[in-house]
């Protein structure tokens, strides 16, 4: 398995586009609608937010995915179409406009939105811009790039990746674009992720693979503790790689799952790294826990801790905040068995052993914590469980970004 270029256009038979149509009225130079289209019908699946308050596109997608098939994805930024007047009607109008251009049923189009909650979507500009959006479709990395930029809100950089592997003797490719910077928390966050693959796989198995993948990638990141109304991860598989269709667990499914996890893992880390106002990516690895689930719960608690995030921002090796976050995670463990160290490209330093502080070089610790990528390593002394989760620091800029996000 190798990472390759091309994003959502890396897989055979997929085209993409991203243009400005006017959803973002304050930034006419920013792309705000993306379209991804397969040449043929696809097996499809989706995973969505667990927030009780769900945006209109999610309700539409759940209905459209009932048969496990889809052909295209249309998405806009600049307006969440959540808790908004005529929400589902406008989401359906977006699907209908895309379907008319493509020549398929509106039920074969999936839809997503991201942006401000509670405001009516100017769906007419999407409809009016559809001819130009469809005309812009290309099979190229630049087209995937345009689509990736069209779904960005407070993101400072695009999230895009692709992988290539061999399944059943055939070369299989999969790619993805994602957005997410704030309102990111386990059970997904304000994230959209669109995945494409030319692998032949049944709707049942691709849904199984997506659920398994999301649980160990997108559900293991946190920026600010907020789970959004719009979180969606959608995948289309058109089968053009020509492999024997995956219909049951086995070596081919395992190879598909490995590639999907690698792809989504990279996209998840890109989101955590680009947290609103963030200066550091925090990787928390918990080992020797009672179980993987216990390790996951503890790691999530640490990356979600506001005080730990603030300490990382200040390059302060305040390991007590790490133990504190572990202690209120809900997991039972013996604090007197816990070891903690901080690591980065600048080195590693042990700061706590057997639950007690160590004398350590504060200068070296600050140097380690000044790097962009920081790792918090925790050894529990409880068993063989292990898990890694990702987060980011919290900075003054986070408040600036969110203090006037709507106005």
Q: How many helices (H) and strands (E) does the chain have?
A: 11, 15
**pLDDT for the residue numbered 255:** 98
| Closest C-alpha among 215, 162, 155 to residue 191 | 155
**pLDDT for the residue numbered 185:** 54
- The distance in angstroms from the start CA to the end CA of the chain is 46
Q: What is the mean pLDDT of residues 112-125?
A: 95
Range in 22-36, 89-103, 318-332 the model is least confident about: 22-36
Partners of 357 in the beta sheet? 352
Kindly report the pTM of this predicted structure.
0.90
Task: Say how far apart CA 220 and CA 388 lie, in whole Å.
Answer: 8
| Closest C-alpha among 321, 343, 260, 334 to residue 294 | 334
Residue 226 clears pLDDT 80, i.e. is over it = no
Residue 281 clears pLDDT 70, i.e. is over it = yes
More confident residue, 43 or 406: 43
Q: What is the mean pLDDT of residues 80-88?
A: 96
Residue 182 clears pLDDT 80, i.e. is over it = no
What CA dihedral angle connects 311, 312, 314 and 315, to 10 degrees? Answer: 120
**Unique residue bearing structure tokens 């730990």:** 308
Catalytic residue among 49, 114, 153, 190: 190
Domains of the chain, each with CATH number or no CATH: 2-273 (3.60.70.12), 281-403 (3.10.20.340)
- Say whether 308 is catalytic: no
Q: How confident is the model at residue 153 (pLDDT cuts 50, 70, 90)?
A: confident
Task: For residue 202, give every residue at least 6 positions away whose Cβ sits within 8 Å of its Cβ, in sequence order, or none.
Answer: 43, 68, 245, 246, 247
Task: Say how far apart CA 98 and CA 129 lie, in whole Å.
Answer: 10
Alpha helices in 155-245 (DSSP H): 203-216
* Phi-psi region at 202: left, alpha or beta (left = phi > 0; alpha = psi -120 to 50): beta
Residue 363 CB-density burial (10 A; 0-12 exposed, 13-18 middle, 19+ buried):
exposed
For 337-357, the pLDDT digits (tens) are 999 999 999 999 999 999 999
| Closest C-alpha among 172, 165, 176 to residue 244 | 172
């Amino acid at each position: 398995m190798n990472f390759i270029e091309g994003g959502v256009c890396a897989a055979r038979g997929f085209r993409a586009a991203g243009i400005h149509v006017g959803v973002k009225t304050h930034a006419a130079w920013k792309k705000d609608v993306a379209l991804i289209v397969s040449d043929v019908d696809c097996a499809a699946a989706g995973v969505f937010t667990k927030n009780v308050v769900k945006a209109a596109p999610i309700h539409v997608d759940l209905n459209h995915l009932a048969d496990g098939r889809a052909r295209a994805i249309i998405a806009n930024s600049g307006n969440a179409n959540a808790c908004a007047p005529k929400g589902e009607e406008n989401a359906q109008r977006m699907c209908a406009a895309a379907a008319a251009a493509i020549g398929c049923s509106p039920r074969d189009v999936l839809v997503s939105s991201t942006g401000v909650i509670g405001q009516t979507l100017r769906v007419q500009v999407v409809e009016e811009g559809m001819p130009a959006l469809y005309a812009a479709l290309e099979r190229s990395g630049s087209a995937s790039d345009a689509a990736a930029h069209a779904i960005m809100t407070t993101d400072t950089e695009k999230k895009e990746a692709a992988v290539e592997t061999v399944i059943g003797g055939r070369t299989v490719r999969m790619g993805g674009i994602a957005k997410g910077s704030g309102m990111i928390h386990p059970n997904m966050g304000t994230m959209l992720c669109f995945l494409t693959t030319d692998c032949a796989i049944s709707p049942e198995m691709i849904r199984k693979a997506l659920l398994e993948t999301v649980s160990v990638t997108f559900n293991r990141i946190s920026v600010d503790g907020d789970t959004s109304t719009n979180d969606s991860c959608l995948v289309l598989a058109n089968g053009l790689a020509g492999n024997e269709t995956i219909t049951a667990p086995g070596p081919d499914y395992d190879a598909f799952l490995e590639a999907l996890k690698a792809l989504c893992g990279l996209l998840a880390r890109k989101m955590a790294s680009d947290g609103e106002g963030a200066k550091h990516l925090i990787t928390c690895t918990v080992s020797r826990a009672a179980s993987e689930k216990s390790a996951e719960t503890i790691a999530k608690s640490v990356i979600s801790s506001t005080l730990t995030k603030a300490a990382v921002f200040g390059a302060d090796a305040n390991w007590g905040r790490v133990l504190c976050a572990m202690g209120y995670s809900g997991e039972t463990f013996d604090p007197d068995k816990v070891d903690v160290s901080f690591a980065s490209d600048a080195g590693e330093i042990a700061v706590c052993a057997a639950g007690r502080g160590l004398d350590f070089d504060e200068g070296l610790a600050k140097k380690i914590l000044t790097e962009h990528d920081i790792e918090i390593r925790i050894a529990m002394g409880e068993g063989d469980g292990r898990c890694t989760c990702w987060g980011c620091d919290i900075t003054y800029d986070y408040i600036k970004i969110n203090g006037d996000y709507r106005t």
